């Protein structure tokens, strides 16, 4: 990894820790389908309660290391901030072979979220939420020259069960999508690397993903 790549990761993580940000964060996040390698990662997560001016951060759904927030069922709108570190699963895409752990990514993703439903039982065991709109800045690196991407991020559906289990479905809309040459992938028909395309207008791409987590008891 070059100094530039390492510096990018460090700066992104420092921004996260500096953000005074309940983190119903996700232990694992999958970027499931894209015209490139499938990626999975771990996420550090912060939330900021706009109404009450309170914030909290969690890593891997462990007890919060910054701040303390009311549970989501007691809040309506909040800002979230995810910083994730991802690597490739080895799943092929479009006939192109991608190796495990050879393609990596760091992502910085702020989002405005909204709680739409809380169950009527006394313990409020089920909560639905939605990511109304967010942005995703990503830096990809590995066995290829590093490059960055920008996307709009939406969370059509998220559910928290029994204040512990979290499941979310994510959409990322890239104005300029991915092509195999960016990952130094090999053309299966020739056995040679795809020629690097520079200054081209790559087509837009919608990428699906999901995440799952278990929230440990807070402090």
pLDDT in tens, 29-42: 999 888 889 999 98
Residues 35-71: tens digit of each pLDDT: 889 999 988 888 898 888 888 887 655 555 566 666 6
Q: Which of 63-77, 104-118, 171-185 has the lowest mean pLDDT?
A: 63-77
Q: How many distinct structural domains can be found in the chain?
A: 1
Within-domain flag for 175 = yes
Within-domain flag for 42 = yes
Residues 86-110: tens digit of each pLDDT: 999 988 887 788 889 999 999 999 9
Q: Smallest Cα–Cα separation from 95: which of 174, 178, 177, 180?
A: 180
Is pLDDT at 164 greater than 90 in this prediction?
no
pTM beyond 0.75, yes or no: yes
pLDDT score of 18: 36
The rounded distance, in Å, linking the Cα atoms of 8 and 25 is 23
Within-domain flag for 186 = yes
pLDDT score of 22: 35
- Percentage, residues of the chain above pLDDT 90: 39
Q: Smallest Cα–Cα separation from 172: which of 118, 105, 73?
A: 105
Within-domain flag for 219 = no
Is pLDDT at 1 greater than 80 in this prediction?
no
Residue 133, SS3 per DSSP: strand
Within-domain flag for 66 = yes
Domain that holds residue 149: 3-214
Q: Which of 12-16, 112-116, 215-219 has the highest mean pLDDT?
A: 112-116
Within-domain flag for 104 = yes
Of 214 and 30, the structure prediction assigns the larger pLDDT to: 30
The rounded distance, in Å, linking the Cα atoms of 27 and 13 is 17
């Amino acid at each position: 990894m070059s100094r530039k790549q390492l510096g990018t990761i460090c700066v992104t993580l420092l921004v996260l820790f500096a953000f005074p940000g309940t983190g119903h964060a996700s232990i694992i996040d999958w970027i499931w389908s894209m015209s490139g390698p499938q990626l999975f990662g771990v996420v550090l997560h912060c939330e900021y309660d706009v109404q009450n001016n309170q914030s909290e951060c969690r890593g891997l759904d462990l007890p919060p290391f910054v701040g303390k927030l009311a549970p989501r069922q007691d809040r309506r709108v909040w800002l979230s901030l995810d910083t994730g570190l991802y690597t490739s699963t080895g799943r092929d895409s479009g006939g192109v072979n991608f190796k495990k752990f050879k393609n990596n990514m760091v992502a910085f993703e702020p989002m405005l979220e909204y709680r739409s439903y809380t169950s009527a039982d006394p313990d409020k065991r089920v909560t639905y939420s939605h990511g109304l709109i967010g942005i995703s800045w990503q830096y990809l690196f590995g066995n290829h020259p590093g490059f960055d991407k920008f996307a709009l991020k939406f969370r059509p559906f998220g559910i928290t069960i029994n204040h512990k289990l979290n499941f979310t479905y994510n959409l990322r809309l890239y104005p300029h999508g991915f092509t195999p040459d960016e990952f130094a992938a090999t053309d299966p028909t020739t056995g040679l690397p795809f020629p690097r395309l520079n200054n081209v207008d790559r087509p837009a791409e919608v990428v699906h993903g999901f995440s799952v987590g278990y929230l440990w008891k807070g402090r």
